[in-house]
Structure 1
């Protein structure tokens, strides 16, 4: 009874303040969960469309990439200049995600990796692909770069594209380039020889890569 009389009339604001603090804490936690949920949904959405986004960026930033795309009539202002590079190359300094067309139109007669030739039981490792086409077909550079090797005896050309990426073309004749020349995207570098077969290889940091994994449509 004395305690009740003693506490009679005293303010209960501290109690209300405490309840208000709890309410604010719950509201903050709810908002945080909402933000995290939306961020997760956004990441899933972007992940599902990353290929489309990357292709669109290629159409915008890679010279000539939009030639056969739905945006060709709006993006035909792109200059054919090797200084124009994909945005991800500029930001990361890497070429390993760049897509390209094959150096000539034809039929792939030897795939990348371990293969066994007809009439042989001995498997061999093909560091590139072999493309069959009529003799005299133009062979083109898949990307801008610098000619670092030319061998007229084997009809071989090696182009350094930067970022430790090189492409190799063997089986050419009438070579149009020399060591030190710079080439642009789809520049003619030679003609296919009488064998009617081009060996094409792609190397990243000295390691052979499957060229078909980075072509825009698998086969040109």
Structure 2
């Protein structure tokens, strides 16, 4: 299969996914808790209007012209035709076929992308035959990742704990085996065992940027701490804060619950630390931030 035809086929697949919001591989579409909608399910179509150029369309969607060219072989010469339709990805990147037998680590190494980030961007799905590879500055439109990190002049040090006492770890950060279906997945945070109704507190000062239900996260609170750091508190039963509210270390955020799709079968808090980078808000190991 020559390259132009392969690219055309991939764009056709993406177009189908974008219209139906159906994962490419429904047999392996189980997404681990806290994973976003796969990038391939978030494509849009843009009909070219009179007066528009490739550059103006790219600017409208916060993309580079090269991204649009990669996804639309018909505009390889840099010009667009009025009335034609373009595939618009959610952020800069390109689509590739994944050779049979290759893992996310293999694909990530080939394209020099963090394996865990690549895994999450593709919805934490297993054994995909087609994957989206992000490049440059990723600007996801999901409400849990859209808030920009404040530009602080001084770096901050975060060291705190979401409970008054140290809790046992139900599921650690990193690559794990799903306790229910046995699949390997990337766990973007740490699950801390706690009884339903236990108070959950902020680990450090910051601003509430999200406080609502968010899919598999359930009831979720997100705090931006500045210097590109963010903490997330998921599967809450109740939320006690609101967006825009300033909080200090130890302030009550909500209570432990069982909302969303918690793994492990026991009530717990799913806690994440994320840092702002050129690949969006990427998960960090919470261990160094959690100090009871």
Describe the superposition over 1:40-97 as per-residue Cα deviations: whole angstroms up to 9, x where unpaired.
xxxxxxxxxxxxxxxxxxxxxxxxxxxxxxxxxxxxxxxxxxxxxxxxxxx97113x4
The residue that corresponds to 1:167 in the other structure is 231
Give the conservation status (yes or no) of the 8 Å contact 1:147–1:179. yes
2:127 is aligned with 1:127: no
Give the conservation status (yes or no) of the 8 Å contact 2:160–2:249. no
Alpha-carbon distance in 1 for matches of 2:154, 2:275: 13
Greater shift after overlay, 205-214 or 142-151?
Answer: 205-214
The residue that corresponds to 1:207 in the other structure is 282
Unaligned runs of 5+ in 1: 1-90
Alpha-carbon distance in 2 for matches of 1:192, 1:102: 11
Alpha-carbon distance in 2 for matches of 1:149, 1:193: 17
Query: Where do 4+ consecutive residues of structure 1 move more than 6 Å?
Result: none
SS at match of 2:239: coil
Equivalent residue for 2:267, pick from 192, 196, 205: 196
Unaligned runs of 5+ in 2: 1-151, 259-265
2:161 is aligned with 1:101: yes
Higher helix proportion: 1
Specify the structure having the higher radius of gyration (Cα). 1
2:184 is aligned with 1:114: no
CA shift, 1:118, in A, is 3.0
Alpha-carbon distance in 1 for matches of 2:289, 2:153: 18
Pairwise CA RMSD of aligned residues? 2.1
SS at match of 2:209: strand
Give the conservation status (yes or no) of the 8 Å contact 2:196–2:255. yes
The residue that corresponds to 2:222 in the other structure is 158
CA shift, 1:140, in A, is 0.2
Change (3 A) 1:176 1:118: closer
